[in-house]
Amino acid sequence: MQRVLVNKLVPDLKPEVAPKLRALDEAFARRLGVQTGAAAPAPAAPAPKAPAKK
Protein backbone atom coordinates (compact mmCIF):
# COMPACT_ATOMS: atom_id res chain seq x y z
CA MET A 1 0.00 0.00 0.00
CA GLN A 2 2.75 2.46 0.96
CA ARG A 3 4.79 1.63 -2.12
CA VAL A 4 1.84 2.37 -4.39
CA LEU A 5 1.28 5.69 -2.66
CA VAL A 6 4.96 6.63 -2.92
CA ASN A 7 5.06 5.61 -6.59
CA LYS A 8 2.16 7.99 -7.27
CA LEU A 9 3.39 10.89 -5.12
CA VAL A 10 7.05 11.06 -6.12
CA PRO A 11 6.50 11.92 -9.81
CA ASP A 12 3.86 14.50 -8.84
CA LEU A 13 5.98 16.21 -6.18
CA LYS A 14 9.40 16.01 -7.82
CA PRO A 15 8.97 19.20 -9.95
CA GLU A 16 8.00 21.13 -6.83
CA VAL A 17 10.64 19.75 -4.49
CA ALA A 18 13.68 19.61 -6.81
CA PRO A 19 14.10 23.41 -7.23
CA LYS A 20 13.75 23.90 -3.47
CA LEU A 21 16.42 21.28 -2.77
CA ARG A 22 18.70 22.86 -5.38
CA ALA A 23 18.22 26.29 -3.76
CA LEU A 24 18.96 24.82 -0.33
CA ASP A 25 22.12 23.15 -1.67
CA GLU A 26 23.27 26.45 -3.21
CA ALA A 27 22.55 28.32 0.03
CA PHE A 28 24.68 25.87 2.00
CA ALA A 29 27.44 26.11 -0.58
CA ARG A 30 27.43 29.93 -0.36
CA ARG A 31 27.61 29.76 3.42
CA LEU A 32 30.52 27.33 3.25
CA GLY A 33 32.25 29.22 0.45
CA VAL A 34 32.06 26.28 -1.93
CA GLN A 35 31.16 26.46 -5.60
CA THR A 36 28.61 23.96 -6.90
CA GLY A 37 27.48 22.61 -10.24
CA ALA A 38 28.94 23.83 -13.53
CA ALA A 39 30.48 26.88 -11.86
CA ALA A 40 32.84 24.71 -9.84
CA PRO A 41 36.38 24.67 -11.25
CA ALA A 42 38.05 21.42 -12.19
CA PRO A 43 40.38 20.06 -9.52
CA ALA A 44 43.95 21.24 -9.96
CA ALA A 45 46.65 18.79 -10.92
CA PRO A 46 48.98 17.86 -8.06
CA ALA A 47 52.15 19.93 -7.84
CA PRO A 48 55.25 18.22 -9.19
CA LYS A 49 57.52 16.87 -6.50
CA ALA A 50 61.03 18.21 -6.13
CA PRO A 51 63.79 15.72 -6.93
CA ALA A 52 65.27 13.97 -3.92
CA LYS A 53 68.65 15.26 -2.74
CA LYS A 54 71.48 12.78 -2.55
pLDDT > 70 in the chain, percent: 65
Q: Is 35:41 a contact under the CB 8 Å cutoff?
A: yes
Whether residue 37 is predicted with pLDDT greater than 90 in this model: the reply is: no
Q: Is 2:9 a contact under the CB 8 Å cutoff?
A: no
Query: Mean pLDDT for the chain?
Result: 81
pTM reported for the whole predicted model = 0.50
The domains of the chain are located at 2-35
Distance CA(54)–CA(49), nearest Å, equals 15
Q: pLDDT tens digits, residue range 15-25?
A: 999 999 999 99
Whether residue 34 is predicted with pLDDT greater than 90 in this model: the reply is: no
Half-sphere exposure of residue 53: CA atoms within 13 angstroms, side-chain side: 0
